[in-house]
Amino acid sequence: MLAFFYDYHTLALLLVILFFLFLHFKTIQTIKKSVQKMTEFSKKISEGDFNHSLNIRSRDELGALANSLNSMKDQLSSLFLDLVQEKQKLSSLLSGMYDGVLAIDPNKKIILYNKRVKEIFHLKEGDVRGRSLLEFIQNPDVISFFERALKEKKIFQKQIKIIDNTVKHYEIVVSPLQQDQENMWGVVAIFHDISDLKSVEQMRIEFVANVSHEFKTPLTSILGFTDTLINDKDIHQTQKEKFLKIIKQNVERLSYLMKDLLSLSSLESEVMFHKLCFKIQPFVEKLMLEFEKQAQEKEITLKTHIKVESMTADEPKLHQALYNLLDNAMKYTEKGGVITLSIQEEKGFLKLAVEDSGLGIHSTHLPRVFERFYRVDKGRDREMGGTGLGLAIVKHIALLHGGSVEVESEQGKGSLFSILIPLF
Ligand SMILES: Nc1ncnc2c1ncn2[C@@H]1O[C@H](COP(=O)(O)OP(=O)(O)OP(=O)(O)O)[C@@H](O)[C@H]1O
Ligand SMILES: [Mg+2]
């Protein structure tokens, strides 16, 4: 009986132990599964995948841990989104910038750059972040400038010239990227293209030099002859008259020069520009009348070919432009030649052209004839009394009307100068 009791008791104990063992096993299995889930979950987060949540429903510590991991994921996800957006903003800001931006660390390794920098230095490689600056930039001025900024931890500004197919001028500003009082991340440089500014400055320098030169010749002559007239008491009357004539010619030359310069400057400042609709016929007749006498003297035939009744433009300015073209045609066409003024519509433009059968211009000079003071034959053209500003004035008048100028010419055969003004 006792044996049976013991057997029964042992069996019960065994069953209890088995039950607890089963429970223990089950718990371990659940914990293992949860840990596995958490491992996978954190792996996904580390890979930047925030689309999943931990699904552990237990009410114990594991459940609490899962809840805090889920809320950590939500916070990380929103932080990550913010970071991605900030990065996108920065990269579109950098790539949209007209200026070049290039940042390097204290070891001269590139940490940031934009598209413009790649264009400036012709970088063909893909992503050059982490690579040495010296691998890509050979310009000694730029390198020494970066090195100085890294060493002295100050803002520097400098103008540099980069020559490859063309000459480009840049203003570089290099500033330190300060981490704290002593340490810095590196330096960042901004490359601003100032080539247009430089060429305007160069044009201004050349213009002043040209103006001075143009003034110098007649002034020297006037001074010389007036000195002779003052100092030489025995000078003969005919000689005196000859000298006075030369002085007068030079004064006239100076006054033409002044007139043309003032004309150019008023055209450039765009003041007094009035467009009105006017009839072409009387406008052309007036112009032709001004050249009639000259044409008769040089036995030049003046022709007109007018296909438009009226036009909208600044009449006095257009008169000046056509006057300059006709004046040139008259000057550079020899006896017996033909000059034609034509006005007609052509492909959405009003084309005002002056054609002559004169000396013509060699093709090497054609791209420059509209420049101020440009003369094909310096000696000859100056002798003819020209200032070299006539065509520059024509070009400015065309530009003021939103149009352009063109020239076709062949040496020995003649020239065709055209002003093209958009119809609308
Ligand atoms: N119709 C033309 N035929 C041949 N050469 C021309 C003609 N028009 C202009 N040129 C050349 O182009 C140059 C520039 O002309 P532009 O009218 O600007 O100056 P200019 O006639 O010398 O002086 P300005 O007109 O100021 O009195 C001239 O010096 C001349 O060499
Ligand atoms: Mg001229």
Q: Does position 186 have pLDDT exceeding 80, yes or no?
A: yes
| Same domain flag for 281 and 424 | yes
Task: Give the C-alpha separation, 177 to 149, whole Å.
Answer: 10
| Same domain flag for 265 and 396 | no
Nearest ligand, CA of residue 354? Answer: 1
Task: Give the C-alpha separation, 389 to 369, whole Å.
Answer: 10
pLDDT band at 122 (very low <50, low <70, confident <90, very high): confident
pLDDT tens sequence across 32-51? 888 888 888 888 888 888 88
| Same domain flag for 65 and 86 | yes
Beta carbon of 375 within 6 Å of any ligand 1 atom: yes
Total domain count for the chain? 4
Residue 242's contacts (CB-CB under 8 Å, 6 or more residues apart) are none
Cα→Cα distances 413→110, 333, 364, Å: 61, 10, 16
Q: Does position 377 have pLDDT exceeding 90, yes or no?
A: no
| Same domain flag for 263 and 375 | no
| Same domain flag for 327 and 388 | yes
Final residue before a domain boundary, out of 91, 109, 128? 91
Residue in 300, 381, 413, 418 to alter for ligand 1 test, most ligand atoms within 8 A of Cβ = 381
Beta carbon of 361 within 6 Å of any ligand 1 atom: yes
| Same domain flag for 294 and 413 | yes
CATH of the domain at 201: 1.10.287.130
| Same domain flag for 257 and 280 | no
Give the residue, 6 or 156, on which the prediction is more confident.
156
| Same domain flag for 299 and 386 | yes
Residue 341's contacts (CB-CB under 8 Å, 6 or more residues apart) are 284, 287, 288, 302, 303, 304, 305, 322, 326, 352, 353, 354
Q: Does position 3 have pLDDT exceeding 70, yes or no?
A: no
pLDDT tens sequence across 263-304? 888 888 777 788 999 999 999 999 999 999 999 999 999 999
Ligand 1 atom closest to Cα of residue 414: 3
CATH of the domain at 142: 3.30.450.20
Ligand 1 atom closest to Cα of residue 389: 26
pLDDT tens sequence across 362-373? 999 999 999 998
Beta carbon of 414 within 6 Å of any ligand 1 atom: no
Give the residue, 254 or 1, on which the prediction is more confident.
254
pLDDT tens sequence across 79-94? 988 998 998 998 888 8
| Same domain flag for 313 and 402 | yes
Residue in 255, 325, 327, 369 to alter for ligand 1 test, most ligand atoms within 8 A of Cβ = 369
Q: Does position 5 have pLDDT exceeding 80, yes or no?
A: no
Share of the chain above pLDDT 90, in %: 58
Contact at 8 Å (CB) between 392 and 264?
A: yes
Q: Does position 1 have pLDDT exceeding 60, yes or no?
A: no
Give distance in angstroms: CA of 335 to centre of ligand 2: 18
Final residue before a domain boundary, out of 136, 165, 193? 193
| Same domain flag for 296 and 406 | yes
CATH of the domain at 360: 3.30.565.10
| Same domain flag for 278 and 422 | yes
Q: Which of 18-32, 52-66, 304-318, 384-398 has the highest mean pLDDT?
A: 304-318
How are beta strands 338-346 and 301-306 bridged, if at all?
A: parallel
Beta carbon of 386 within 6 Å of any ligand 1 atom: yes
Give the residue, 58 or 346, on which the prediction is more confident.
346
Contact at 8 Å (CB) between 292 and 258?
A: no
Final residue before a domain boundary, out of 146, 174, 193? 193
The residue segments making up the domain with residue 156 are 97-193
Q: Which residue has the tokens 């034959």?
A: 377
| Same domain flag for 417 and 282 | yes
Beta carbon of 387 within 6 Å of any ligand 1 atom: yes
Beta carbon of 332 within 6 Å of any ligand 1 atom: yes
Beta carbon of 388 within 6 Å of any ligand 1 atom: yes
Task: Give the C-alpha separation, 389 to 344, whole Å.
Answer: 26
